[in-house]
Homo-oligomer: A and B are copies of this chain.
Amino acid sequence: MTDETVVGEPAAIGSDEPEGHTPSVEVVAIGTELLLGQIVDTNSSWIGEQLAAAGLNSHFQTKVGDNPTRIRSVLELALDRSDAVICCGGLGPTQDDVTREVMAEVMGVELELDEAVAGRIRHMFASRGRTMPDNNLRQAMVPVGASVIAQQPGTAPGLICPLGTEAGSKVIYAVPGVPYEMKEMVTGTIIPDLVARSGRPAVIRSRLLRTWGMSESGLSEMLGPRIEELDEIGNPTLAFLASGVEGLKVRITARAHDETAARAVLDTEEHLLRSLMGDIVFATDGDNMETVVVASLARRGLTIAVAESVTGGYVAGRLCAVAGASEVFRGGVVAYHRDIKRDLLGVQEGPVVTEAAATAMAQGARTILGADIGIATTGVAGPDEAEGRPVGTVCAAIAGLDAAGISRDVAVTMQLPGDRERIRQFATISLLDLLRKRLR
């Protein structure tokens, strides 16, 4: 794909706003450990996603080590070809953290102590009963003419460094490399500041619809006509984001003059997309498959138990990951050895990679763990086939689920792709999705 064809995203936003200018923003990640591959630079990717969602252009991202000369050369190049730069990392308290000094050099100014920042850092140490090492005062040094970003969740303050005084002036933002500190500053200050500078509507909001069970090409086909319409209209915009075994996200991004109007655009579009996509949409925004399933069980006052063979604990592990799972989750049996399927869960002698065995496991778990619903997996994760069934064969079952209180079981057989780990993860989410649909 080219910069201009990604599901109509960055190009589309702003194209009907001739009065505004879409600023181009570069991201510079600073840290030798990034170049050495000791840490994967996920910060730049995350910032890139936020910029795109806000309709801002981003054409280059650079990683550079903790070397003042090289950082300066990268910043000067970035300022030359873009309107703004977000600089990530190198704001720590040690001698190796040189971003502040380089920013001052690029601005052609000195560093000075910001008493307010120094006070905040001292206070942070004091509130944990510790004395601030002198080193940390380095973090309160701010280039003359720069301002400090309001959000400061850690000891490192973020900086806004304007360059030039005219209308066409450029800006460098500096944020710490610690992801949660960086994210608060980017979301809270930098994106709104960039949008304001662009002279376009000030409120940009997005919403994620999470889907499971359809390929990207299938989804493109399903939403094709709507995407073409939106390419014309320009607002909201849609983007697909892949999340591996967790499915595909459809992101709706709306811009408007205020919060209420933006939300109305999102609501209308979500309603339309849901009518097109039906029940492949399983969650919005921060929810995932297990939070949705646990919430759905809790609403109905139902408890659940799990019996696992091929997934070996993954289904139970995901359900327990939800805070408050104890309200609905009774427990599980990992019935890996054939004897345990038989002795503990009551599965009959014979082949165990069958829907009958999966159903018996689900019923067994339900009974011995005292739950309303039992769910189970059995299958072949490899490396070798088993019982004459190929690697990737998985049977999943749900027992005891019925609106009227009458037992009615469901079982399915799937042929899943990938290696051992991927088959087990696929089987896990497939079973949870099966349950989600039965609970509707």
Contact = CB atoms under 8 A, between A and B. Distances in A.
With a 10 A CB-CB cut-off, give which of A2, A42, A368 has the most chain B CB atoms: A2
A217 interface: no
A87 B65 CA distance: 19
Given A40-B42, A344-B368, A66 B1 contact: yes
Interface stretch (A109-117, A269-277, A308-316, A404-412): A308-316
Interface in A35-68: 35-42, 44-50, 52, 58-67
Contact of A325 (B32, B336, B339): B336
A344 B331 CA distance: 11
A88 interface: no
A97 to B, nearest CB: 9
Contact of A316 (B41, B312, B326): B312
Nearest to A345: B331
A46 B42 contact: no
A96 B313 contact: no
Which of A10, A59, A96 has the most C-beta atoms of chain B within 10 angstroms of its own C-beta?
A: A59
Most buried by B among A306, A333, A339: A333
B45 A58 contact: no
Contacts of A403: none
Size band of the A side of the interface?
35 or more
A36 B337 contact: no
Interface string A289-327: 000000000000000001010011111111111010110
Contacts of A308: 313, 316
A48 to B, nearest CB: 4
A314 B317 contact: yes
B64 A35 contact: no
Contacts of A62: 60-63
Given A241-B38, A317-B314, A369 B340 contact: yes
A438 interface: no
Contact of A334 (B47, B81, B332, B382): B332
Contact of A331 (B37, B38, B40, B340): B340
Interface of A: 1-3, 5-6, 9-10, 32-42, 44-50, 52, 58-67, 70, 73-74, 77, 81, 96, 239-242, 306, 308, 311-321, 323, 325-326, 329-337, 339-340, 343-344, 368-370, 381-383, 420-421, 424
16 contacts: A1-B32, A2-B67, A2-B96, A6-B32, A36-B52, A37-B44, A37-B46, A37-B47, A44-B63, A60-B63, A308-B313, A314-B317, A321-B424, A323-B420, A331-B340, A332-B334
